[in-house]
């Protein structure tokens, strides 16, 4: 009877383990992927293309590859990337392309689905959209020198970059306006603040529309944190809770704990988005602590006051 129970237990465990694997990760080998856009064998004059497909249940990501002209005759590898959503946007120069896609997870993947695309050359830029690549929209930095980048367009002779503060709602807000041949430009700001920047492509007969993004330059450090508890020179039970308040601009704090007032080296360093930390120690131990903050732009505050507490 005991032998029978052992076998039954093993079978039930193996079945349960297999079921859990199926629940947590689906086998994709027998699945297929459906491409949606751009249509197969599409011929277009639009350089900006959004590749779109149906999501596959159980997939954690997708492998997208784009080559020119075909996978049987690869002359240029344009894109080979992992995409976590079901869309990917890029700019292609005139030419013939094939793109293929497969769904993947940690243990399996589908077969590739492959479609063909042709980008036809045109000098008319009015239907083209500039794809900005850096910095990201709503980027926050403490660096006064910023490099602006965008995807080049085949039929563009040059590009017009404008920068305004705080936005383009008024023509008077534009303080920098330049035409350049390259698809990037490095500019050093003389003041911090909120800005918008935009770029368009140009040639002798037409212009694209502007593509716009926002940018914030912040060089002001947040105020130093203020300790709340335990009070300086107090005695606390272990574990004790260290608590403090921070500047509203703070996005991360670093807590430093020392075993003497010389503050070198710390015995514990904790980076946290909380404004408290639970700390344990032995009776009679003295500890010293202080905190400093960092904001979204990377500016670091001064240290808070060095406080002392003793475990009772």
Q: What does the domain layout of the chain look like in residue ranges?
A: 35-119, 132-217, 226-311
- The pTM assigned to this predicted structure is 0.64
pLDDT at residue 22 tops 80: no
So what's the pLDDT on residue 23? 54
Give residue 154's pLDDT band: very low, low, confident or very high (50, 70, 90).
confident
Same fold, 35-119 and 226-311: yes
Q: How far from the centroid of its chain's Cα atoms is residue 53's Cα?
A: 22
CB contact at 8 A, 212 and 174: no
> Where are the strands (E) in 172-285, listed by range?
174-180, 184-188, 193-202, 211-217, 226-229, 234-236, 240-245, 250-258, 268-272, 276-279
Segment 217-240 shows an average pLDDT of: 96
> The domain 35-119 belongs to what CATH superfamily?
Immunoglobulins (2.60.40.10)
Segment 279-307 shows an average pLDDT of: 96
Q: Look up the CATH number of domain 132-217.
A: 2.60.40.10
CATH 2.60.40.10 is held by the domain 226-311: yes
Which token pair is 282?
Answer: 């032995």
So what's the pLDDT on residue 143? 97
Lowest mean pLDDT among 12-26, 90-104, 114-128, 208-222: 12-26
Q: Report which DSSP code applies to 4.
A: H
Average pLDDT in the chain: 92
Segment 2-19 shows an average pLDDT of: 47
Q: How far from the centroid of its chain's Cα atoms is residue 35's Cα?
A: 26
Segment 184-200 shows an average pLDDT of: 98
């Amino acid at each position: 009877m005991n032998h029978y129970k052992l076998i039954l237990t093993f079978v039930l465990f193996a079945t349960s383990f297999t079921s859990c694997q199926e629940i947590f990760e689906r086998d994709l080998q027998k699945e297929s992927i459906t491409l949606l856009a751009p249509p197969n064998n599409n011929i277009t004059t639009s350089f900006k293309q959004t590749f779109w497909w149906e999501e596959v249940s159980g997939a954690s990501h997708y492998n997208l590859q784009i080559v020119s002209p075909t996978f049987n005759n690869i002359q240029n590898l344009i894109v080979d990337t992992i995409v976590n959503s079901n869309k990917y946007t890029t700019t292609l120069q005139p030419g013939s392309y094939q793109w293929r896609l497969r769904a993947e997870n940690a243990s399996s993947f589908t077969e590739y689905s492959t479609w063909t695309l042709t980008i036809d050359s045109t000098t008319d830029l009015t239907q083209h959209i500039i794809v900005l690549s850096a910095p990201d929209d709503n980027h926050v930095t403490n660096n006064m020198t910023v490099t602006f980048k965008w995807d080049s367009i085949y039929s563009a002779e040059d590009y017009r970059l404008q920068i305004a503060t705080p936005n383009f709602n008024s023509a008077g807000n534009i303080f920098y306006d330049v035409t350049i041949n390259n698809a990037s430009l490095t500019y050093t700001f003389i003041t911090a603040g909120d800005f918008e920047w935009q770029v368009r492509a140009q040639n002798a007969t037409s212009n694209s529309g502007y593509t716009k993004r926002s940018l914030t330059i912040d060089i002001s450090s947040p105020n130093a944190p203020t300790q709340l508890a335990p009070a300086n020179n107090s005695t606390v039970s272990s574990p004790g809770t260290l608590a403090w308040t921070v500047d509203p601009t703070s996005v991360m704090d670093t807590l430093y704990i020392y075993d003497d007032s010389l503050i070198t080296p710390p015995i514990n360093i904790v980076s946290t988005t909380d404004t408290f930390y639970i700390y344990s120690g032995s009776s009679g131990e003295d500890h010293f602590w202080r905190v400093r903050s960092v904001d979204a732009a990377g500016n670091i505050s001064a240290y808070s006051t060095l406080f002392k507490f003793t475990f009772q």
